[in-house]
Structure 1
Amino acid sequence: MGEQVRITVNGDTNFINEDDLARSDQKKVKKARRKRTQSRRRPKNPQPQEWLAQDLSLRKIADYKPFNFVDGEGVRCSLYVSGCLFACPGCYNKAAQSFNYGKPYTKELEDQIIADIGQSYCQGLTLLGGEPFLNTQVCLSLIDRLRDAYGYTKDIWSWSGYTWEELQKESADKLEMLKKIDILVDGRFEEEQKDLTLQFRGSANQRIIDVQKSLKDGRVVLWDGLVS
């Protein structure tokens, strides 16, 4: 049994056993080490065309949320696809990083999404996950049906761990998908840049990009609804 140590804080005196004090100090050291380790962890950075949807996607979805207000502007129908390799520390949907998570994407579900988006109060479709650009088989099927049904009267948003610049060097299916959407929220979630006050994104490095204007101008053009 260790000796008693007297500690006085703001005029209050307490006696603490030396062994307990040592254990407390060890816990603080371990906690500090964990925090430093977490801060050093980084999302993965693929080489161009290293990750291909045709090799990775199992055509599964983690969730479908109709008529929500949080995944972009207006009332939206959101499809969360399964599978992501970026492995961002602090990811809010870690379960959906597995390509085998959730349930298969079916024609019946696709029919339901198209019908839901047809409601007059629904502004459009949001694709997120998981990584939509590693599930292009699912996303392109839905995008094409939406355009056939509603043209450009409904908009399409997508989140991606890829940056705009990285997507320009990517596979044909990713480029096709990019060209068919309206808004891209790009870039990995960076834990050290986390900011809960940001509009429609989790960390300050991420951008909300107007895809069609960017393709026309040959440079990144930010969404004009952005609140700084």
Structure 2
Amino acid sequence: MHMYYGAIKSCDIANGEGVRVSLFVSGCRHACKNCFNPETWCFDYGTPYTEATTEQLLRLLEPSYIRGLTLIGGEPMEPENQPVLLELVQAVRKAYGTEKDIWCYTGCVLETDLLADSPYRCDATDALLREIDVLVDGPFVEGQKSLQLAFRGSANQRILRKKNGVFTEANQ
């Protein structure tokens, strides 16, 4: 399995609560109109993800002021990306346990694309979802765009926090 990424932000405050390390993966089939990151639609955009990338991300997560890791894209839940991201989040859990939280932004809808039979489900999906603390789901919809929304681009997108192993919509 191979994956590319467009960027790593070591001090991101826009994509989740607190100061975060964000990995912008490459590859996205959603192609949302007026996407903020269309260059990442291409699966081989940017830099190949390697074991050294995982080591770099683990080092960037070390400082106590870093609250956690954000997976964003592109589309982290593309089946091509999920196995690599599963290995990454498992390494984060091994290194930091629940000390660092994991956010994931996806254009997929949890119930219809990730939990039900769909082109986005693969062998890694359930295990990856188990490791994610906050899932921001739903495609960006230009007609519902709002700059007033915290951690979302359009009103249809939901912030789903895991509570007792189940994602529930946050009141934000």
Q: Distance in 2 between matches of 1:214 and 1:202?
A: 26
Aligned position for 1:20: none
C-alpha contact 1:59 1:137 (8 A) present in aligned 2: no
Aligned position for 2:43: 99
Out of 142, 146, 150, the position equivalent to 1:191 is: 142
Structure 1 runs, 4 residues or longer, greater than 6 Å off: none
* Larger RCO (CA under 8 A, 6+ residues apart): 2
Percent identity between the two aligned chains: 42
Amino acid at match of 2:131: K
Shift of 1:137: 2.2
In terms of Rg, which structure is larger? 1
CA RMSD of aligned residues (A): 1.4
Amino acid at match of 2:122: S
C-alpha contact 1:214 1:221 (8 A) present in aligned 2: no
C-alpha contact 1:213 1:221 (8 A) present in aligned 2: no
Q: Distance in 1 between matches of 2:164 and 2:33?
A: 32
Alignment coverage as a number of residue pairs: 165
In the TM superposition, what whole-angstrom CA distance separates every residue of 1:70-103 from its partner, at most 9, and x where no partner exists?
1100010000000000111111100000001001
Compute the TM-score of the two structures, normalised by the length of structure 2: 0.91
C-alpha contact 1:179 1:212 (8 A) present in aligned 2: no
Shift of 1:109: 1.8
Out of 66, 90, 110, the position equivalent to 1:164 is: 110
Structure 2 residue 27 is the aligned partner of structure 1 residue 83 = yes
Structure 2 residue 57 is the aligned partner of structure 1 residue 120 = no
Trace 1:119-138 onto structure 2 (pairs within 5 A): 119-134=63-78, 135-138=81-84
In the TM superposition, what whole-angstrom CA distance separates every residue of 1:113-167 from its partner, at most 9, and x where no partner exists?
1011111110000000000011112211110100001101110000001111121
Amino acid at match of 1:177: L
> Unpaired runs of 5+ in structure 1?
1-53
Shift of 1:209: 0.2
C-alpha contact 2:130 2:165 (8 A) present in aligned 1: no
Amino acid at match of 2:46: G
Compute the TM-score of the two structures, normalised by the length of structure 1: 0.69
Amino acid at match of 1:173: A
> Unpaired runs of 5+ in structure 2?
none
Q: Distance in 1 between matches of 2:126 and 2:52?
A: 27
Amino acid at match of 1:92: F
Trace 1:13-92 onto structure 2 (pairs within 5 A): 58-92=2-36
More helix by share: 1
